Amino acid sequence: MIAPCRMTEPHAVRRIAVFGGVYSNAHALAAMLADARGRDVDAIFCLGDLGGFGPHPDRVFPLLRDAGVRVIQGNYDRAIALGHDDCGCGYTDPRDNHFARVSYAYTLGRTASEHRRWMAALPGHRRLTLGGGTALLCHGSPRAISEFLWESTTPDDFVARLLDEAQADVILCTHSGIKWHRRLADGRHLVNVGVIGRPENDGTPRVWYTVLTAEPGRELDVEFVPVGYDHEALAREMEREGLPPEFADTVRTGWWTSCLEVLPARERARGRF
């Protein structure tokens, strides 16, 4: 059993690794954790959405526990923990809804009650001192667990308001599935750290996490780190478990085949579908 973490980290940190969207991809999680261990990080944070999409949801929990990852709750975790009817993404496309239902029923039916209880106790946010500033870690946005923050539809004035309301210098989020970083003119930041469970619709099977380094007196350094892993093994497991073949296609090709309706025009234009 993993002990629930406090919402405010007690010690200031200098370099951290942050990731989101595991989506039951234990292969990518293991590869990412191995990579992060070689980068001299003070702590590793996960911004939620442990299940969905991939196979064998229970396999990610021991990896998180053994690596001491500090986790916050994503919308998927909350839904699975509380046994909601669906993941709460609010799709309107019947095709997306079909895929979401299949994936959700699969995950709900195979997540041990011990892990559901643990997810129920996860905090929705974390606040930590990163270098000399304050970072707020959240899932979708500081104000809503299921809010999508895309690069092309998140304007600077809106980011500034989120930072003001969060009383933070840096916001770290995930949920949308594609990484990006915005530095405001006043030196504050919003970083969508990406996801490690699914490629980011760029035609390659790699996934991404983020390393942030805050040296005293220097600009916050944001490095997006690509992670290769045995995606073919994952795809075969998904097929053996009877998950939709479209999901395995995404794992192999790097192109999204579902959840496309939530993409803004600019992000959608970059993909194949």
Partner 1 sequence: MRELSPVSMDAPAPARRLTLAGPVRPAAPAAAVPFRHLTALWVQITGTWCNLQCAHCINASGPREPWLAPLDAEAVRRAVLEAAALGVKEIYFTGGEPFLHPEVMPLLAFALERAPTTILTNGTLVGEAMADRLAALAGRARYSLELRVSLDHPERERNDAVRGPGAFDRALAAIRRLDARGLLPILTATETDRSTEPLYDRLRALLLATGVRKPRVKILPLYPAGRMDGRGGGRVTAAMVEQVGAERLQCSEARAVAAGGVYACPILAGLPEARLGATLAEALTANRLTHPACLVCWETGSSCRNA
Exposure class string for 3-19: b at 16+ Cβ within 10 A, else e: eebeeebeeebbbbbbb
Q: Which of residues 80-139 bind partner 1 (CB under 8 A)?
A: 92-94
For residues 153 to 192, the per-residue mask of contacts with partner 1, x marking binding by CB under 8 A and - elsewhere, is xxx-xx-xxx-x----------------------------
The smaller minimum CB distance to partner 1, of residues 92 and 113, is found at 92
Burial degree of 191 (CB within 10 A; 0-12, 13-18, 19+): buried
Residue 226: HSE in the Cβ half-sphere, 13 Å Cα cutoff = 8
CA distance 143 to 3: 25
Of the candidate residues 88, 124, 226, 264, the single one contacting partner 1 (CB under 8 A): 264
Contact call for residues 2 and 121 (beta carbons, < 8 A): no
CB of 148 to partner 1, least distance (A): 8
CB of 257 to partner 1, least distance (A): 12
The interface region with partner 1, picked from 126-134, 227-235, 238-246, 263-271 by CB under 8 A, is: 263-271
The smaller minimum CB distance to partner 1, of residues 8 and 152, is found at 152
CA distance 97 to 172: 28
Beta-sheet strands, E only, within 2-159: 15-19, 43-46, 70-71, 126-130, 133-137
Q: Is residue 146 close enough to count as binding partner 1 by CB under 8 A?
A: no
Q: Is residue 273 close enough to count as binding partner 1 by CB under 8 A?
A: yes
The interface region with partner 1, picked from 17-25, 101-109, 147-155, 215-223 by CB under 8 A, is: 147-155
- The footprint of partner 1 (CB under 8 A) covers 92-94, 143, 148, 150, 152-155, 157-158, 160-162, 164, 260-262, 264-269, 271, 273
